[in-house]
Amino acid sequence: MNKFSIFGQNSKSMNKPLIAPSLLSANFLELNTEIKMINDSEANWFHLDIMDGKFVPNITFGFPIIKQINTMAQKPLDVHLMIEQPERYINDFYDAGADILTVHYEAVTHLHRTIYAIKEAGMKAGIALNPHTPVECLQDIIRDVDLVLIMSVNPGFGGQKFIRQSLSKIARLKEMIVDAQTTTLIEVDGGVDTTNATDLVLAGADVLVSGSFIFKSENPQQTIIELKTLK
C-alpha cells in the first residue's frame, strides 16, 4: 500500500482513525526500542514535534535526530513545526525524511506560497491552528492543504489537559471541508486519550496524535489499539 493512500479519504470512508504517536513523549535513551514498538504496532504515522524556543517556550530536536529516526521508521514521518519562519527550512526537512510537513497559521506570513513550496518539495502540506485561532481563517486555502492540525492544548509542552471546546471547532472545520468538496484530513493534537477519542472522531477528526497517554501506559501497543476502537 502506498504510504499516502489515506489522503483522498476521510473519517466517513475509514473504519478507524489514524493514530500518530508523538515521539516527544518517548524515552530518548531507548529511542530505537520506542521506534521499533511503533513500527510493530497498529499506529499509522510517527508524529514529530519541532520547537524552536521562540514560537513556543520549549526546544526539542532538529535535523540530525529526524534523520536518525527516518533510518528506522517504517511509517510516514508527520512533522509538526512549531517554529518561526518555517519556510526557510522546507527543503531541509524533506532531506531529513519528513513525509508530511505542517506549519502554524500563526507563524507564516505568506501561507499560500509556503504550502505550495512544501508540496513542490515532495511532501504533504498541513496547517496547524492554535486553540485561539478560528477555523474560518482557512476558508480561502482549505482546498489547497492536505491536512489541518487542530491544537487541543496550547502548543509547547506535552501532558496538558484537553480543551473541550476543540470538539465544536473540529465540527465547524469538517463542515467547511464538506462544503468545499475537498478531502483535507483533520488531525488533533493535545490531551488525546480513550476518554475523548470517540468524540473527536464523531466530530470529524481523521488522525489522532497522542504522546504521554501512549508512551507512559503499561502496554503502549494495546493503548494504540484502544485509541482506534470507537465506542
Does an H or E element contain 108, and which? none
- Contact in structure between 170 and 200 (CB atoms under 8 Å): yes
| Total residues found in the chain within this entry | 231
Active-site residue 49, yes or no?
Answer: yes
List of E strands, the chain: 18-21, 46-51, 77-82, 100-104, 124-129, 147-151, 185-189, 207-210
DSSP states of 211-229:
SHHHHTSS-HHHHHHHHH-
Active-site residue 206, yes or no?
Answer: no
Active-site residue, from 52, 99, 189, 206? 189
Cα 23 from Cα 8, distance rounded (Å): 26
Amino acid at position 154, single letter: N
Active-site residue, from 40, 49, 99, 146? 49
> Which residues face 77 on adjacent strands?
46
Catalytic residue annotation: 49, 189
